[in-house]
A = this chain, B = another copy of it.
Amino acid sequence: MSAPKKVVLAYSGGLDTSIILKWLQTEYGCEVVTFTADLGQGEELEPAREKAIMLGIKPENIYIEDLREAFVRDYVNPMFRANTVYEGQYLLGTSIARPLISKRLVEIAEETGADAVAHGATGKGNDQVRFELACYALNPNIKVIAPWRLWDLTSRTRLLEFAEQNQIPVAKDKRGEAPFSVDANLLHTSSEGKVLEDPAEMAPDYVFQRTNNPEDAPDEAQIVEITFDKGDAVAIDGKAVSPAEMLTQLNELGKTHGIGRLDFVENRFVGMKSRGIYETPGGTILLEAHRGIEQITLDSGSGHLKDSLMPRYAELIYNGFWFSPEREMLQAAIDKSQELVSGTVRLKLYKGSVFCVGRWSENSLYSEAHVTFEDDAGAYDQKDAAGFINLNALRLKLLAARKRRLAK
Which residues on A are within 8 Å of B, measured CB to CB?
83, 87-89, 122-124, 128-129, 132-133, 136-140, 146, 148-149, 154-155, 181, 193-194, 197-203, 214-215, 219, 221, 261-268, 270-275, 291, 295-296, 298-308, 311-312, 315, 320-321, 323-326, 328-330, 332-337, 340, 346, 350-353, 355-360, 362-368, 370-375, 380-402, 404, 406
Q: Does B265 lie within 8 Å of A396, measured CB to CB?
A: no
CB neighbours of A320 from chain B (8 A): 392
Q: Does A202 lie within 8 Å of B346, measured CB to CB?
A: yes
CB neighbours of A351 from chain B (8 A): 214, 350-353
Contact A301-B272, Cβ < 8 Å, known A336-B332, A365-B399: no
CB neighbours of A298 from chain B (8 A): 325
CB neighbours of A329 from chain B (8 A): 302, 305-306, 333-334, 336-337
Q: Does B295 lie within 8 Å of A324, measured CB to CB?
A: no
Known: A123-B382, A332-B335. 18 other contacts (CB 8 A): A87-B307, A133-B392, A138-B400, A199-B295, A215-B221, A265-B366, A266-B295, A267-B300, A270-B388, A302-B325, A324-B396, A328-B336, A351-B353, A352-B352, A363-B406, A365-B395, A365-B398, A380-B394
Return A107 CB to nearest CB of chain B, in Å.
Answer: 14
CB neighbours of A302 from chain B (8 A): 325-326, 329
B83, B321, B375: the one contacting A301 at CB < 8 Å is B321
Q: Does A325 lie within 8 Å of B337, measured CB to CB?
A: yes
State in angstroms the CA–CA spacing of A390 and B364 once bound together.
Answer: 21
CB neighbours of A387 from chain B (8 A): 381, 383-388, 390-391
State in angstroms the CA–CA spacing of A293 and B329 once bound together.
Answer: 19
CB neighbours of A340 from chain B (8 A): 402, 406
State in angstroms the CA–CA spacing of A220 and B66 once bound together.
Answer: 42
State in angstroms the CA–CA spacing of A199 and B312 once bound together.
Answer: 31
CB neighbours of A382 from chain B (8 A): 122-124, 148-149
B267, B358, B383, B392: the one contacting A201 at CB < 8 Å is B358
Q: Does B366 lie within 8 Å of A325, measured CB to CB?
A: no
Q: Does A400 lie within 8 Å of B203, measured CB to CB?
A: no
CB neighbours of A346 from chain B (8 A): 200, 202
B301, B326, B388: the one contacting A391 at CB < 8 Å is B388
B88, B267, B353: the one contacting A395 at CB < 8 Å is B267
CB neighbours of A324 from chain B (8 A): 301, 396
Residue of B nearest to A400 (CB): B140
24 contacts between A and B (CB under 8 A): A122-B382, A128-B389, A137-B399, A140-B396, A140-B397, A146-B385, A148-B382, A149-B382, A154-B375, A193-B372, A199-B295, A200-B359, A214-B350, A215-B350, A265-B366, A267-B303, A271-B370, A274-B371, A305-B312, A305-B330, A332-B335, A340-B402, A367-B398, A381-B387
CB neighbours of A362 from chain B (8 A): 406
B133, B201, B270, B352: the one contacting A396 at CB < 8 Å is B133
